[in-house]
C-alpha cells in the first residue's frame, strides 16, 4: 500500500512538473512564428514613395496639408489592408552633444499598432543640400525661347549612322530643355507644317524659335501644301529644292534658327507617306535626293532672293578641324565636353556670308582657309542657319554647345545651406486582425 501511495505522490509531482513546464513553455502565436518582415516592408514602402523624390519634397513641407493628404492616400494604397502604420518625421539637429531628433509631423491610420510592430527609418535630404545649378531660360527676357526638336515619326534620317532621329532627339531634349522656355518634340511632318505656318503647337511662341533637324542630311517635308508644285516642288527642274527655298523664306519670316547637325544641309527631303516607294539611292525609303540644290535654295530663301535652281556643290572638305576658343570656354562653363578635334567634310564656304548677307555670330569650330566647318550664320534681315559640316557620325554635344555658345544663357548656382537639410522619416507598421 505504501508503494502505491508513493507512486501516486510521484504522479502528482510529475503532473505538477508538467503543468508548471507547460505554463512556462508558452508557444508563440502563429503570427509570430511566420511573420511578415515588417521592417523590410516599411523600408521598401518608403523607398517606393521616394522614387521620384516625392517623399523628400513632402517631409520638408509639413504645413502643406494637400501633399500630406496625398501621402496618406499613397500609404494606404500600397500597404496590405491588415497593416496599419504610423509615419513620423524628425528634424535632425547637430550639436556639440551629438544629434538631436525633434518630431515635427506624424500621421497614422490607427490608434495603436496591434500587439506587434516593427519600424524602418529613412533619411531624406532637402533639395537645399544638393548643389544645384539653375540656368537662365533663353527667351526669358523676350524674343524666342522655344526649342523645336524634329522627332518626326514619318521621316527617316541620313548620315546619322549609329543613331535614330529619335535617340538624337531624346538626348537633345535632355541636354537643352533646361535652357529653353519650352521644348517641343515635333512628332510628325504635319506638325512641322504647322510651325512653318506660324501656328503654335502648345501655345508656345513660334517667332524666334530654334528648330533642330535630327534627320541629318535629310529634311522632313510635310505632305500637302509644302510639297505641292510651285511651293515645294520645282516642276521645271524636277526637284524638291523649291521646298528648301520655301523653308529658307519661312526661317526668315519667323526669325527661326535652323540647325543642321551633320553633313551637307538639306541634301534630301524625307516623308515616308509622301515617298513610300522612293529611296535615297542608298536603300533608305521615304526619302528623295535634292542634292546641293537644297542648300543653295535655302540660302536664297533666307536672304529673300528670288528662286533659281542651282545644283552647284559649295561645301569643302578641310579635314581635321578644332573647337574654337569660345567653344572651349563654353564647354567648361556648361560642362559639355565633345572631342576638341573633329573631321569636317561638308564645311560651308566663307563667301556665302557676303553673297547671302550672313554674319557669323558664333564659330563653334575654327575656320580653315576659306571654309567654315561649324558656325551660326545670322542673316542681316532675319533668320539664322547653324550648320555643322562634319562627317558622320554626329555628336549632338557639338550642336548643344554651339547653341549655348550662341545664346549664352547664364547659370545661377544655388547656395549650399547646411542647416535643416536632413530629416528622418520613421515608418512603423503593425499587423491587425488574425492570431
Partner 1 sequence: MAGSTIDHLVSVTVFLGALMLFIGLFNQTIQTAIIYQHHRVLAVKCSDLLDNMLLNPGMPIDWGKSNVTPTGFGLQDPEFTQYRLSPFSLMRLQSAVGDTVYYPKTGQYYSNITVGFGNFLLVPFTEAINYSLAARLLGINGTYSFQLTVTPVVTVSISKLQSNPLNLSVNVKGRGFPLPNAMVSYCFITVKTGGGAYPSFTTDYGTVYTNAEGSAVLSFPSVDEDNDSYVLIAYAHLSGLIGVGYYEHVTHDENYVVPFISDFEERTVIIAHSYDVHGGDNPAAIAYNATFVLLTEDFTLREVPMENSTGKVGKINYGEGKPYKTITIPTYNPGILVITYKKSAVETGVVLMPWGISSLAFPVVFGDDPSSSDWVTTDLRQVIVNDIAYQAKLALWSLEGYQVIG
Interface ranges with partner 1 (CB under 8 A): 1-4, 6-8, 10-11, 14-15, 18, 21-22, 25, 27-28, 33-37, 40-41, 44-45, 47-52, 54-55, 58, 66-67, 70-71, 73-74, 76-81, 151-156, 164-167, 185, 187, 272-273, 276, 283-286
Closer of 279 and 353 to partner 1 (Cβ): 279
What is the nearest approach in angstroms of partner 1 to the Cβ of residue 131?
A: 21
Closer of 33 and 418 to partner 1 (Cβ): 33
User: If you write DSSP's letter for every residue of 171-237 in order, what string do you get?
Assistant: HHHHHHGGGBSEEEEE-SHHHHHHHHTT--SSS---TT-EEEETTBTEEE--SSGGGSBTTTBBTTT
3-state secondary structure of 399: helix
Count of C-beta atoms within a 10 Å radius of residue 115: 12
| CA–CA separation, 414 and 133 (whole Å) | 6
Closer of 185 and 404 to partner 1 (Cβ): 185
| CA–CA separation, 383 and 179 (whole Å) | 20
Closer of 66 and 354 to partner 1 (Cβ): 66
Q: What stretch of H or E contains 44?
A: helix 38-49
What is the nearest approach in angstroms of partner 1 to the Cβ of residue 425?
A: 13
What is the nearest approach in angstroms of partner 1 to the Cβ of residue 246?
A: 24
3-state secondary structure of 16: helix
Count how many residues are written for the chain: 435
| CA–CA separation, 48 and 66 (whole Å) | 20
| Alpha-helical regions (H) of 50-154 | 54-59, 65-78
Q: Record the cell numbers describing residue 337, joined without a space.
A: 565636353
Q: Are 290 and 278 in contact (CB under 8 A)?
A: no
Closer of 194 and 272 to partner 1 (Cβ): 272
Closer of 164 and 421 to partner 1 (Cβ): 164
Q: Record the cell numbers describing residue 264, joined without a space.
A: 551637307
What is the nearest approach in angstroms of partner 1 to the Cβ of residue 34?
A: 4
What is the nearest approach in angstroms of partner 1 to the Cβ of residue 157?
A: 8
| CA–CA separation, 191 and 177 (whole Å) | 19
Q: Record the cell numbers describing residue 169, joined without a space.
A: 532627339
What is the nearest approach in angstroms of partner 1 to the Cβ of residue 261?
A: 16
Classify residue 26 by its DSSP letter: P
3-state secondary structure of 30: helix
Closer of 376 and 431 to partner 1 (Cβ): 431
Closer of 263 and 374 to partner 1 (Cβ): 263
Amino acid at each position: 500500500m505504501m508503494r502505491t501511495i508513493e507512486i501516486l505522490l510521484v504522479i502528482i509531482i510529475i503532473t505538477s512538473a508538467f503543468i508548471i513546464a507547460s505554463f512556462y513553455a508558452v508557444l508563440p502565436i502563429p503570427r509570430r512564428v511566420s511573420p511578415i518582415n515588417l521592417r523590410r516592408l516599411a523600408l521598401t514602402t518608403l523607398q517606393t514613395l521616394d522614387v521620384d523624390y516625392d517623399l523628400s519634397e513632402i517631409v520638408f513641407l509639413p504645413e502643406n496639408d494637400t501633399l500630406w493628404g496625398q501621402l496618406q492616400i499613397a500609404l494606404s494604397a500600397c500597404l496590405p489592408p491588415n497593416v496599419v502604420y504610423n509615419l513620423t518625421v524628425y528634424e535632425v539637429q547637430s550639436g556639440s552633444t551629438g544629434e538631436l531628433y525633434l518630431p515635427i509631423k506624424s500621421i497614422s491610420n490607427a490608434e495603436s499598432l496591434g500587439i506587434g510592430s516593427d519600424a524602418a527609418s529613412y533619411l531624406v535630404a532637402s533639395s537645399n543640400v544638393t548643389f544645384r545649378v539653375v540656368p537662365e531660360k533663353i527667351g526669358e527676357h523676350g524674343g524666342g525661347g522655344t526649342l523645336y526638336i524634329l522627332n518626326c515619326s514619318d521621316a527617316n534620317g541620313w548620315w546619322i549612322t549609329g543613331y535614330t532621329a529619335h535617340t538624337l532627339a531624346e538626348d537633345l531634349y535632355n541636354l537643352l530643355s533646361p535652357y529653353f522656355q519650352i521644348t517641343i518634340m515635333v512628332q510628325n511632318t504635319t506638325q512641322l507644317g504647322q510651325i512653318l505656318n506660324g501656328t503654335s503647337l502648345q501655345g508656345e511662341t513660334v517667332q524666334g524659335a530654334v528648330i533642330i533637324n535630327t534627320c541629318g542630311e535629310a529634311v522632313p517635308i510635310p505632305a500637302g501644301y509644302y510639297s505641292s508644285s510651285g511651293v515645294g516642288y520645282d516642276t521645271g527642274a524636277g526637284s524638291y529644292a523649291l521646298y528648301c527655298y520655301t523653308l529658307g523664306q519661312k526661317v526668315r519670316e519667323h526669325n527661326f534658327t535652323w540647325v543642321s547637325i551633320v553633313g551637307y544641309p538639306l541634301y534630301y527631303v524625307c516623308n515616308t507617306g509622301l515617298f513610300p516607294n522612293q529611296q535615297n539611292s542608298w536603300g533608305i525609303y521615304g526619302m528623295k535626293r535634292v542634292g546641293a540644290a537644297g542648300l543653295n535654295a535655302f540660302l536664297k530663301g533666307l536672304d529673300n532672293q528670288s528662286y533659281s535652281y542651282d545644283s552647284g556643290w559649295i561645301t569643302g572638305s578641310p579635314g581635321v578641324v578644332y573647337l574654337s576658343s569660345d567653344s572651349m570656354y563654353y564647354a567648361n562653363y556648361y560642362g559639355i565636353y565633345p572631342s576638341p578635334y573633329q573631321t569636317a567634310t561638308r564645311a560651308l564656304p566663307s563667301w556665302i556670308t557676303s553673297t547671302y548677307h550672313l554674319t557669323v555670330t558664333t564659330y563653334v569650330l575654327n575656320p580653315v582657309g576659306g571654309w567654315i566647318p561649324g558656325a551660326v550664320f545670322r542673316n542681316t534681315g532675319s533668320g539664322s542657319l547653324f550648320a555643322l559640316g562634319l562627317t558622320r557620325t554626329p555628336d549632338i554635344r557639338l550642336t548643344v554647345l554651339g547653341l549655348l555658345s550662341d545664346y549664352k544663357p547664364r547659370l545661377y548656382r544655388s547656395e549650399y545651406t547646411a542647416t535643416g537639410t536632413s530629416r528622418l522619416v520613421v515608418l512603423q507598421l503593425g499587423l491587425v486582425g488574425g492570431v
